[in-house]
Structure 1
Amino acid sequence: MDFLQYMDLSPTLPLLFTLSFLAATVLPIGSEWLLILLLMKGHPPVFTVLTATFGNYLGGCTTFLIGIWGSDMIIKKILRLQTSDLNRAKQLYGKYGSWSLLLSWLPIVGDPLCLLAGILKTGFFRFSILVFSGKFLRYATLAYLVTSGSARQ
């Protein structure tokens, strides 16, 4: 809370949306602490969870689009993959990998999973269902733990 006061910010749903969005891109920040703070201050769990989920989902979509638009550069200049390696990766990812998007909420690996989905041209509908579901379940579980814990006190 001291950080928010120092930055002259108050804990609000728009701030949660922004922080959740940024946390799903390349910035190494978390949004869970603000979700918990808002819930402890009495914000409605449904709106709080949906705000964080949509922000984090849209941040994941941004990373996905970077993968789509930058795929040639990423594949050729950064990863230096041969066509045969890329085809094999696409085959493996198509068979098993897209389900990994349910884990897109995880720190460190989540953003690269969204980027990889873009690079390998995962269908946007499939991407959206899996990423939104994973991110929603994370925030909903966290909200449940916070609200059920405060209900017992």
Structure 2
Amino acid sequence: MDTIITTLAAHGGIGMFCAAFLAGTFLPFASEAVLLALLAAGTNPVELLIWGTAGNTLGGLFNYGVGSMGREEWIARWTKVAPDKLERGKQWVRRYGAWAGLLAWVPVIGSVITVALGFLRVNLLYSLITFATGKFIRYWLIVRAYIAI
């Protein structure tokens, strides 16, 4: 994992985009390590914020697409999300709709939410807006905390 993080960090904004995309999907990856490495290397924080938000939002869109395929057995197999977690995610999304996308940045739960949004065919535009907003705020807080140190 360290080699992947080092390689991605060596590629600046594009590396941040790739790391954020992976982290935004149901794949286990932490883009924060790449973000912090790039900040420490002196990369422009605004650039990282833009690349990170874009990549992570597209990763969430990928999950939405998997969910929109509509077969729970496929979702369980491809995402490795336990059926009980998927069911809880679906119930939660039914309750909050696209607003649930604001929590798409939360590890594990965020993947369940984005898959459930797709599965339940929640409005794609509203879902994308909430994904992007939540993910932007998370990266902004990390960048702010780093700069304050």
- Structure-2 separation of matches of 1:130 and 1:64: 13
Label 1:28 to 1:98 Cα distance change in 2 as closer, same or farther (>3 A).
same
Instruction: Give yes or no for contact 2:102–2:134 (8 Å, CA) kept in 1.
Output: yes
Q: 1:123-153, CA deviations, whole angstroms, 9 ceiling, x for partnerless residues?
A: 011101110000000000000000121xxxx
The answer for the alignment partner of 1:30 in structure 2 is 30
May I ask how many residue pairs the two structures share in their alignment? Answer: 138
Alignment of 1:114-153 (within 5 A): 114-149=114-149
Label 1:36 to 1:96 Cα distance change in 2 as closer, same or farther (>3 A).
same
Runs of 4+ in 1 over 6 A off after TM superposition: none
Higher relative contact order (CA 8 A, sep 6+): 1
Label 1:3 to 1:58 Cα distance change in 2 as closer, same or farther (>3 A).
same
The 3-state SS of whatever aligns with 1:96 is helix
Instruction: Give yes or no for contact 1:11–1:38 (8 Å, CA) kept in 2.
Output: no
**Deviation for aligned residue 1:3:** 2.8
- Structure-1 separation of matches of 2:103 and 2:20: 16
Instruction: Give yes or no for contact 1:24–1:59 (8 Å, CA) kept in 2.
Output: yes
Q: In the alignment, does 2:106 pair up with 1:93?
A: no
- Which consecutive residues of structure 1, in runs of 5 or more, have no partner in the other structure? 80-84
- Structure-1 separation of matches of 2:6 and 2:62: 29
Label 1:7 to 1:31 Cα distance change in 2 as closer, same or farther (>3 A).
closer
**Deviation for aligned residue 1:101:** 1.4
> What RMSD in Å do the two structures reach over aligned CA positions?
2.9
Q: 1:19-66, CA deviations, whole angstroms, 9 ceiling, x for partnerless residues?
A: 110111121010001111111211111111110110000010011011
TM-score (norm 2): 0.80
Structure of larger gyration radius: 1
TM-score (norm 1): 0.78
Instruction: Give yes or no for contact 1:11–1:37 (8 Å, CA) kept in 2.
Output: no
